[in-house]
Homo-oligomer: A and B are copies of this chain.
Amino acid sequence: MAHMTTNDEYPSRSSDQPVIIPRKDPVWYRTDPPVEGPLSVEQLTRYDQDGYLLLEHLLSREEVEELLAELERVWASHQSSRAPEVVREPEGDAIRSIFRVHQTNPIFNRLSLDSRILGAARQLLGGDVYVHQSRINLKPGFTGKEFYWHSDFETWHVEDGMPHMRALSFSVLLDDNLPFNGSLMVMPGSHQEYVAAVGRTPKDHYKESLRRQAYGVPDQNSLTHLYRRYGLAMTTGAAGSVLMFDCNLMHGSASNITPLSRRNVFLVYNSVQNPPVAPFSGEAPRPSFAAAREAQLIVM
């Protein structure tokens, strides 16, 4: 009965004025007894405060090399693919991301079940989770494009119908992320505020938005507010490190003109207590390669 209608706790793209709404959900979903897992209380506490955590050198060099080889293999085999999972750069035909790799590829599937990652997701989200989205990304050298500031949750809420903030992302770094090759910038603590964007969502927006941002983009005043309050950090780390961050953390990245590519595997977990409902945009949901429509429990 409670699920017959779902209140929109985080309205966005429904007004001409930007609004900032305080977060209404926990970041770290504490349970009693606590969910066991790889993160220490200190790490959980830091994540709770900052909205992100870098797990340095989580993967061994051998694991990185195996994942890199697989990423390159999948990349090469999709060069002329017209599958919707293959998303290309706004200018030109270069592949930007390949989605749903945790279901289509045994090596990335295994990674999505790795206890160092899945276990951390379970600890933070307070129990069972499923993969909301997975993809491999290549931000190439010389021509890597910037990715403007955004909260993932804004999109997942409006376009996918994710009702609450009970999801998080893991970026598995397969190249060194340095201050100058387009590494992710975050506003630590900004996950406590939700920036509702102005405007409406056009139909089939995802086809364009996965390539280039246009709707759901935070306004400059709100970003300036967040910056003044929380500052800015660049999340650099060696290959094999894993960056985890909350679904509502404000993040973005500059362009990459260095010769150094930045490849990663991206895994998003959502709590099984937080399954998607009808998108709050009123439009059809994005296809399941971009956002799983069912909370498929992962059996560890």
Contacts and interface: CB of A to CB of B under 8 A. Distances in A.
A185 interface: yes
Interface string A54-77: 000000000000000000000000
A149 interface: yes
Interface string A248-272: 0000111111110000000000000
Interface in A161-186: 179-180, 182, 185
Contacts of A149: 257
B258 A227 contact: yes
B234 A179 contact: yes
A254 B257 contact: yes
B259 A224 contact: yes
A223 B255 contact: no
A148 B220 contact: no
B180 A259 contact: no
Interface string A145-168: 010110000000000000000000
Contact of A254 (B227, B252, B256): B256
Contact of A146 (B185, B220, B257, B259): B257
Contacts of A252: 257
Interface string A229-252: 000101000000000000000001
A257 B148 contact: yes
Contacts of A234: 179-180
A185 B258 contact: yes
A254 B254 CA distance: 6
B258 A255 contact: no
Interface in A81-127: none
A199 B131 CA distance: 49
- Give the one of A223, A224, A255 with max B CB within 10 A: A255
A182 B254 contact: yes
Nearest to A144: B254
B259 A227 contact: yes
Nearest to A178: B232
Interface string A127-150: 000000000000001100010110
Closest A-B pairs by Cβ, 3 of them: A179-B179, A254-B254, A255-B255
21 contacts: A141-B220, A142-B220, A142-B223, A146-B146, A146-B254, A146-B255, A148-B257, A149-B257, A179-B179, A179-B180, A179-B234, A180-B254, A182-B254, A185-B257, A185-B258, A224-B259, A227-B259, A252-B257, A254-B254, A254-B256, A254-B257
